A and B are shown apart, each in its own frame.
Chain A
């Protein structure tokens, strides 16, 4: 099936080489980081995780959100997702690949990565995160590839696949729960020390992931002969609506607990993020942009008239995606480190090399996504031509 990715239009190859070039530039900067050390980034003793770990956290959510297609299709027999469930699974594959690359980019001693296997430490949440992420990657490759192959051959998927598909549902929940536990179990970081963290992670993931999927589906429709269909996109739109409302609600719960209790440590990070602390607040404009975009997205998504208009839906999804990217891919991580354990404020802002490496990883992710989508879409297009639609 992979051979389908080797034939394509001039535009397809142009896009592929563009992504290769961008990831190549990223890699050159990574080599610089490798030689100099992580001091090339904006991170410091006080803010010891930054953009890389933020991206990792955000993308685990995008990966987990494939389950929002798998559950309706396989558990509720919602047939309309039949043609696009593969888009969700392949998006998950690309997202997990990016997660792993961001972890590698963030490691001080990447050559020692096998120490995770040589000295397994079940007490560490990171040990479990490595297991669930690798397992999830494998599950999605196996499931996606085999269902697609069965589709191409116009036969039902092999029976052994069903248990794996059912397993992938709790597994998807687990990857984001375990990722939330990385933060939610640390004493002395009151911003993260919250039982709602995993639930909030899942809610924001189920908004950001499907929002991205809607955007991708619309792009696919525009650029290829394969039409993911109006109804599946609308169904996804409803999922984004519920999820972003839940995500915003959970954020509100955090704010209530912090500010009604008036416990200084719990309020401090929120103050830093949304108002500034000790006279500094580099993240304040971004956090308010995130808030405004979330409100705009919710208004446009809740109203059926605007949601049903695909251009407005697309706009709302872009707004939701950017809003949640800022909130989780940036603010959440940096906010946890400010103020530091001495109630002092050290600010963080990514450096240029750090940003270029980050863009490079996204380019690799998009490359994986493009190749996988090319395979899937070529098969869908072939089905259209032969007129045999199995769904």
Chain B
């Protein structure tokens, strides 16, 4: 069989590719049957994690700063000290800014000015996940909207898509601005987007989110799909609000406002 020079080169190119692949494949194949990945049996699991913020329990400045500080410390969230570079996972704003459609000057005294605790809503229908061009942000099976900092290309489409302002971008290297480094958790690098992760790293160890632990009952965390869960019980007894529910993102964070004896 005669073969033209061109065909020979084509064939040679294709077969060398094949050899390249098969060599590394062999190394893996020998192990493929034995190796396995599993979830930790200690880990907390749910169909849809959710949070209830009981604002009646937040009375002093310290009640707010406690939950913010613990989160920002254990997750190595930087403090740049200016608005332009700002990165935050938990923060607060007043009722009228958090619930612009519910503002009403005749609300019980103090409600309009009441500060709400804010974090990612871990929406059931998250627009940030929909728009991400690399699936760097994605929804886990337990409903948590997670962010893969390895994959994020920093296009910030998710920041435009999030109706809640829950996402921060690393406009510059965050590491010099982390006051107390937690050596057990990574930092982020410049050029990626970050946000609250509902403490997935703690859930895997069987622990509730850090903010919940220090909130003195102000933050209640549980499985929304389980009628017996603490979050469902409290939601069935008290009237609650979700931020911008009319946008259809189905937030998993609920707010109990109070300001009324039986609210």
Q: Do chains A and B touch in the complex (CB under 8 A)?
A: yes
- Asked, given contacts A37-B191, A124-B132, whether A112 binds B160 with beta carbons under 8 Å apart, the answer is no
- Is B84 touching A44 in the complex (CB atoms < 8 A)? yes
State how many angstroms separate the Cβ of A350 from the closest Cβ of chain B.
13
Find chain B residues with CB under 8 A from A187 CB.
127, 161, 163, 244, 247-249
Report Cα–Cα, A107/B154, bound state, in Å. Answer: 5
- Is B152 touching A109 in the complex (CB atoms < 8 A)? yes
Q: Per a CB cutoff under 8 Å, which of B86, B98, B173 touches A45? A: B86
The 9 closest A-B pairs by CB, nearest first: A108-B154, A188-B163, A108-B191, A39-B171, A37-B190, A39-B172, A126-B133, A341-B165, A37-B172
Within 8 A of A (CB), among B213-263: 244, 247-249
Interface presence of B14 (CB below 8 A): no
Report Cα–Cα, A38/B93, bound state, in Å. Answer: 27
Can you list 18 A-B pairs with a CB-CB distance of less than 8 A? A38-B190, A44-B83, A44-B85, A48-B159, A49-B156, A108-B156, A119-B134, A119-B136, A126-B133, A182-B157, A186-B127, A186-B163, A187-B248, A188-B127, A188-B161, A341-B162, A341-B164, A342-B100
Using CB atoms, name the residue of chain B closest to A106.
B155
State how many angstroms separate the Cβ of A345 from the closest Cβ of chain B.
12
State how many angstroms separate the Cβ of A60 from the closest Cβ of chain B.
15
State how many angstroms separate the Cβ of B16 from the closest Cβ of chain A.
22
Find chain A residues with CB under 8 A from B249 CB.
187
Report Cα–Cα, A377/B168, bound state, in Å. Answer: 49
Provide the A318-343 mask, 1 if CB < 8 A to any CB of B, else 0. 00000000000000000011001111
Report Cα–Cα, A108/B83, bound state, in Å. Answer: 19
Find chain A residues with CB under 8 A from B133 CB.
116, 121, 124, 126-127, 130
Find chain A residues with CB under 8 A from B244 CB.
187-188
Using CB atoms, name the residue of chain A closest to B128.
A186
Find chain B residues with CB under 8 A from A340 CB.
165
Report Cα–Cα, A49/B86, bound state, in Å. Answer: 15
- Is B161 touching A37 in the complex (CB atoms < 8 A)? no
Using CB atoms, name the residue of chain B closest to A118.
B134
- Is A115 touching B136 in the complex (CB atoms < 8 A)? yes
State how many angstroms separate the Cβ of A233 from the closest Cβ of chain B.
39
Report Cα–Cα, A245/B87, bound state, in Å. Answer: 43
Q: Per a CB cutoff under 8 Å, which of A39, A113, A124, A189 touches B160? A: A189
B contact set with A: CB distance below 8 Å = 83-87, 93, 97-98, 100, 127, 130-136, 151-157, 159-165, 168-173, 190-193, 244, 247-249
Provide the A338-374 mask, 1 if CB < 8 A to any CB of B, else 0. 0011111010000000000000000000000000000
Find chain B residues with CB under 8 A from A123 CB.
130-131
Interface presence of A14 (CB below 8 A): no
- Asked, given contacts A125-B131, A187-B248, whether A37 binds B171 with beta carbons under 8 Å apart, the answer is yes
State how many angstroms separate the Cβ of A193 from the closest Cβ of chain B.
10
Report Cα–Cα, A109/B83, bound state, in Å. Answer: 22
Report Cα–Cα, A197/B190, bound state, in Å. Answer: 33
Interface presence of A169 (CB below 8 A): no
Provide the A37-72 mask, 1 if CB < 8 A to any CB of B, else 0. 111000111101100000000000000000000000
- Asked, given contacts A37-B170, A38-B169, whether A113 binds B153 with beta carbons under 8 Å apart, the answer is yes
Interface presence of A264 (CB below 8 A): yes
Find chain B residues with CB under 8 A from A183 CB.
160
Interface presence of A260 (CB below 8 A): no
- A-B contacts besides A124-B132, A187-B163, A189-B163, 8 pairs, CB < 8 Å: A37-B191, A39-B85, A48-B156, A110-B153, A112-B154, A115-B134, A125-B131, A126-B157
State how many angstroms separate the Cβ of B219 from the closest Cβ of chain A.
20
Provide the A151-193 mask, 1 if CB < 8 A to any CB of B, else 0. 0000000000000000000000000000000110011110000
Q: Per a CB cutoff under 8 Å, which of B100, B135, B173, B193 touches A119? A: B135
